[in-house]
Amino acid sequence: MRTELELIQKIEAWLDGSMSAEEQRLFEENMLRDAHLLGEVRLQQEIMNGIENAALRQKIQQTGRLRRRRRNLRNWGGAGLAVILLTAAIFLIAKQHVPATPTSAPPNIPAKSQAPIYSGATTHDTIIPTNTGFTLSIPNTQPDSNEQRVRTKNTIPLQSFHINTNADTVIETKGGIILSIPASSFLDSSGQPVTGPIDFVIHEALDPASIIKAGLSTRSGDQLLETGGMFYVDAVQDGRTLKIDPSRSIYAQVPANQYQPDMQLFTGRRLADGTIDWQDPRPLEHYLNTVDIHQLNFYPPHYLDSVRSWGYNADDRQFTDSLYFSFAGLSSQAAAPVRSSPVAAQPRPVDYTQRDTIILDSSIGPRYDCDIDPARIKAIWNDSFRNTLLATREFEQRMTYIHMAGPKILDLYVQNLDKNLSTIDSMTAASPYISGQLKGEIFPSFARRRDGKVPLGIQQLQKLNIYYIQKTQAFATAVARTQKEFWDHEALLDKKYTDHTIDSIERTSRNFQQELDINFREACRQLGYTIAPARPTPSVYQVKLPATGWFNLDKYVRTATEGRTTLNVTDPQTGKKTVIQYLPASFHPARWKDYDRLYVYLLPDRLSSYMRLTSANGSYPEKLNVLLSYDLVCIGYKGGQAFFYSKPKVQAGDHSFGLQPIDSATLDIQLKKWGNQSQSAGLLRENAFDRWRQQDRPRLQRNERLRDLRDKMERAFFSKCLFWGEAEPQ
Amino acid sequence: MTDQSIVESIRSDPNSRALSALYKQFPMVRSLIRRNGGTTKDAEDVFQEALIILVKKLRTENFQLTAQPGSYLFSVSRYLWKDELRRRNRQVPQELLTESNDTEHPETETLGLKDLLEEESRIKLAEQALSELKDRCRELLLLFYHSGLRLKDIAARMGYSSENTAKNQKYKCLEAAKNRLRELKQTLQS
């Protein structure tokens, strides 16, 4: 850490008292002596106080109802129309009298049977919870007579607001009604826009006492209503009554202690006998509060738990995102990450029994569709969808079940952002794409909550729909291509292992054939044959030969060559003897345990390739054919350092030797010197491969982990898609 | 919520319920300020400032609230507005100059507001320095010192690769804030 930062750290420790007594004493002495230090401490103290203030201010601002609602106002815009409201009230009708409302619930979903009676009373000690309350647009009705305004004025205390129509205004009444009045929302009697200051008047009767005092009734025709409060608004300029511009809207938020989904807005009509009849019930709009969409969780259920249980950091959002979204475009990339490395060329068995257990209990019902492609989630989980229905806690709750229900249902939600959440819940409950518990219980119970909407313009809706479709495809393609490129590249690297294995096999068999050939010729010579007959190849074993002589002889030679044992036979036909000798040799590199890797090679002079010896406890035994002469080459590695030893024409017997350090360029030169051309080329190749493999180890290990993680992910979250393929997009 | 429970809950932790209970006083302050040459925006600023002062006062150990929280807020707001008018070189209306005698709105002097205000203006300068930081820096500092979140969660939330990175970054942000504050002070003096 830089010294400046260390000083800051130290000052902090002093400020929060986390120093030891000794440290503190020293620090304070320094402070007395050092004016600069003292200044730094003061400055930091002030910053800390500033931070405290800023935090407090943030909290207070969040709490400030006025400010919060003013912020909401920005989201309100859109629909709405209104003329001066005469008298309006919000009522809860006894449920059985509710006419089929144009809201969401389909008839087969029963409303909660015992809704608590709504109390419209508010007292000064009541705090209005932030997310309850009704939002309504004031309906379009005819202005009532002056006479009625006067009478109402007499009975309920008036609250008058002097507002400027040139600016957006938010007003809050004593009873807590918030009215948001956009600029230029009033027309005069001739329909011309009104400018300048006007008087905005409200009478409110939110509690029973005021309602009774005002002589207001709560009757709608013959039915009694439970009131959530009544209010009256009027706008006047220079004594002239104004109308609300139908293309604008005034929004009212009425406080509620407890949100009642069945409240409706009634418009009051004064009857001849002076009482008010409440008419024209309209459902209220209940707006949902949006939150930062990045704070929500749209992952499949149990995703984070699983990631954690696999030993990864589930709190690292970058990691969890990249892991989940790497499965975008599922079906097209499903075949990509198969194991192509011969190092671990085990086909990974898929555990079919696990397919359904992690995602959900199968009793919830069969799924008609494939798992949701993460590309879809990626397309919605970003700033483009902030301030929409998706950026709500309410939607987050549904998301868990939408994952179970599949992409068709997700589409339903995303494509109906302008509707009430409960409307989409009902559409989902009626969808043929779900069944079981999801259909019978979960989505109907969401629908019954009557969760509202987040206002959204039609243009924005269309734009987002297009965005969703395009981004889903774009993400899917991009991720699938990236994945494919990655694994293709890995496969290319993995191929080196295959090539090396093939190379080694070829080398061994070439050596064997050549040595066999040499032995065979020698045997022929000893037996007195001048021209060696064609030597049978292994495939000829199955053929019965009429003459056994050559066959037997050849078998002996082959056996001797294979087993590297001394051949000593007599030809039964000629009585001549043939001897091919193999003498044991053993090589002992000093301090063999110190090396990370140690290779002992023998380079036979008459063979085109080299032999790599295998070790047994630091000893490298081999049997040397007396017909050949062998050069010894030994290479060791300790960390990155290479060590080398070589000796020409080694004899049978025990050889102990030490290796000398060597740099890799010199090593290559040395290797070129040894043996014949093809041997040294082979040795160089082998050595290069060995160095590369050493570097490649982390890559293999990483890929191993990656494949393992992808396997787990597939089994846990994408089992359906990988086996069934995703349903047709859109 | 009673005054007592408001005071107690603010003492332990200023939760939004207690704060919004205090917000009930806002209309009074607003009408006072609008009567005396201010806008609703001014009223909000002043009221917020007063709330901050009250909350901080309540959290200091030996502070005894002699008035009801609402009255205290009103008095502080009035004092702050008077001060603000002077700062704007505007005439202070009579209503603000006469100290009221009723016990409900005690004399501002008895509340020791003068010293408080000086201290506050220093802190406001620090706040300004903070507000000029990059958003990410400011958020980190606020989260770190006043969210009650663990360092681990903060690192994850802000997308830092490790707790150490977050901590290191925090010190860098503190440094930037201090430097800015130093500059602000120098410009004030010159």
| ipTM attached to this prediction | 0.87
Q: Which residue has the tokens 């990175």?
A: B165
Which site among B41, B52, B54 would you substitute to test the A interface, given the most A Cβ atoms closer than 10 Å to its Cβ? B52
Shortest distance, CA A461 to any CA of chain B (angstroms): 30
Shortest distance, CA B112 to any CA of chain A (angstroms): 19
State which of A194-198, A488-492, B7-11, B172-176 shows the largest mean pLDDT: B172-176
pLDDT-derived band at A213, boundaries 50, 70, 90: low
Between chain A and chain B, the number of residue pairs with CB atoms below 8 A apart is 126
B contacts of A49 (beta carbons < 8 Å): 122-123, 126
Which site among B29, B48, B127, B133 would you substitute to test the A interface, given the most A Cβ atoms closer than 10 Å to its Cβ? B127
What is the model's pLDDT at position A651? 86
- pLDDT of A717 strictly over 50: yes
A contacts of B133 (beta carbons < 8 Å): none
Chain A residue with CA closest to B146: the answer is A55
Interface check for B130 against chain A (CB to CB < 8 A): the answer is: yes
Question: Residue A633: which H helix or E strand, with range?
Answer: strand A630-638
pLDDT-derived band at A413, boundaries 50, 70, 90: very high
CA gap A199, A164 in Å, rounded: 9
Higher pLDDT, A253 or B99: A253
Contact B33, B42 (CB under 8 A): yes
pLDDT-derived band at A549, boundaries 50, 70, 90: very low
What is the model's pLDDT at position A388? 87
Contact A323, A713 (CB under 8 A): yes
Average pLDDT of chain B, as a whole number: 80
Q: Which residues pair with A597 in a beta bridge?
A: A637
Closest CB to B156: pick one of A12, A40, A316.
A316
- C-alpha dist (Å) from residue A695 to A594, A691, A725: 20, 7, 38
- pLDDT of A712 strictly over 60: yes
State which of A365-379, A387-401, A460-474, B103-117 shows the largest mean pLDDT: A387-401
Interface check for B157 against chain A (CB to CB < 8 A): the answer is: yes
Please give the backbone phi and psi of residue B55, each rounded to the nearest 5 degrees, phi first: -60, -45
Which of 75-104 (B) contact A at CB < 8 A?
none
What is the model's pLDDT at position A245? 75
Closest CB to A57: pick one of B48, B141, B182.
B48
* Percentage above 70 pLDDT, chain A: 67
Given an 8 Å threshold on Cβ–Cβ distance, is A60 in contact with B51? yes
Shortest distance, CA A90 to any CA of chain B (angstroms): 24
A contacts of B142 (beta carbons < 8 Å): 51, 54-55, 58
Given an 8 Å threshold on Cβ–Cβ distance, is B27 in contact with A63? no
Which of 121-180 (A) contact B at CB < 8 A?
124-125, 127-128, 130, 172, 174
Shortest distance, CA A315 to any CA of chain B (angstroms): 5
Q: SS3 for A117?
A: coil
- pLDDT of A548 strictly over 60: no
Angle, helices A3-15/A35-63, rounded to nearest 10 degrees: 70
Chain B residue with CA closest to A55: the answer is B142
Q: How many CB atoms lie within 10 A of CB A688?
A: 13
pLDDT-derived band at A248, boundaries 50, 70, 90: low
pLDDT tens digits, A25-75: 999 888 888 888 988 999 999 999 899 888 888 888 777 654 445 434 333
- pLDDT of A459 strictly over 60: yes
CA gap A550, B126 in Å, rounded: 103
What is the model's pLDDT at position A98? 31
What is the model's pLDDT at position A395? 92
What is the model's pLDDT at position A258? 60
- The least confident of A65-74, A340-349, A533-542 is A340-349
pTM reported for the whole predicted model? 0.44
CA gap A304, A398 in Å, rounded: 17
CA gap B82, B66 in Å, rounded: 22
What is the model's pLDDT at position A122? 27
- The least confident of A3-12, A222-231, B28-37, B145-154 is A222-231
- C-alpha dist (Å) from residue A493 to A366, A500, A697, B189: 42, 12, 12, 66
What is the model's pLDDT at position A144? 41
Interface check for A458 against chain B (CB to CB < 8 A): the answer is: no
Contact A324, A299 (CB under 8 A): yes
The token duo for A631 is 């050069």
Given an 8 Å threshold on Cβ–Cβ distance, is B14 in contact with A59? yes
- pLDDT of A226 strictly over 70: no
**Where does A353-457 have alpha helices with state H?**
374-380, 393-405, 407-414, 421-429, 436-437, 443-448
CA gap A98, A92 in Å, rounded: 9
Q: SS3 for A162?
A: strand
Angle, helices B3-12/B69-87, rounded to nearest 10 degrees: 70
- Reduce the secondary structure of chain B to three states and give it as a string: CCHHHHHHHHHHCCCHHHHHHHHHHHHHHHHHHHHCCCCHHHHHHHHHHHHHHHHHHHHCCCCCCCCCHHHHHHHHHHHHHHHHHHHCCCCCCHHHHCCCCCCCCCCCHHHCHHHHHHHHHHHHHHHHHHHCCCHHHHHHHHHHHHCCCCHHHHHHHHCCCCHHHHHHHHHHHHHHHHHHHHHHHHHHHC
Section A177-206 average pLDDT: 79
Interface check for B72 against chain A (CB to CB < 8 A): the answer is: no
| Dihedral (Cα; B45, B47, B52, B58), 10-degree rounding | 170
Given an 8 Å threshold on Cβ–Cβ distance, is B171 in contact with A124? no
- The least confident of A56-65, A102-111, A259-268 is A102-111
pLDDT tens digits, A365-378: 333 346 788 888 98
pLDDT tens digits, A619-656: 888 888 888 888 898 999 888 788 999 888 888 888 88
Higher pLDDT, A686 or A285: A686
CA gap B177, B132 in Å, rounded: 8
Shortest distance, CA B125 to any CA of chain A (angstroms): 8
Q: Identify which of A726, A706, A707, A702 has the alpha carbon closest to the alpha carbon of residue A338.
A: A707
Section A20-29 average pLDDT: 89
Given an 8 Å threshold on Cβ–Cβ distance, is B153 in contact with A127? no
Q: SS3 for A729?
A: coil
Chain B residue with CA closest to A169: the answer is B40
Higher pLDDT, A243 or B182: B182
Given an 8 Å threshold on Cβ–Cβ distance, is B127 in contact with A54? yes
Closest CB to A56: pick one of B17, B55, B181.
B55
The token duo for A274 is 């002076």
A contacts of B45 (beta carbons < 8 Å): none
Please give the domain boundaries of chain A with CATH numbers for all domains: 51-102+113-283 (no CATH), 293-488 (no CATH), 582-675 (2.60.40)
Q: Identify which of A285, A291, A304, A302 has the alpha carbon closest to the alpha carbon of residue A393.
A: A291
pLDDT-derived band at A492, boundaries 50, 70, 90: confident
CA gap A422, A428 in Å, rounded: 10
B contacts of A294 (beta carbons < 8 Å): none
Q: How many CB atoms lie within 10 A of CB A213?
A: 13
Interface check for A61 against chain B (CB to CB < 8 A): the answer is: yes
The token duo for A139 is 């309906």
Given an 8 Å threshold on Cβ–Cβ distance, is B175 in contact with A59? no
Interface check for A363 against chain B (CB to CB < 8 A): the answer is: no
Q: How many CB atoms lie within 10 A of CB A191?
A: 9
A653-657 and A582-589 beta bridge pairing? parallel
Higher pLDDT, A425 or A250: A425
- The least confident of A10-24, A112-126, A156-170 is A112-126
- pLDDT of A550 strictly over 60: no
- The least confident of A175-189, A299-313, B140-154 is A175-189
Average pLDDT of chain A, as a whole number: 71
pLDDT-derived band at B133, boundaries 50, 70, 90: confident
Interface check for B27 against chain A (CB to CB < 8 A): the answer is: yes
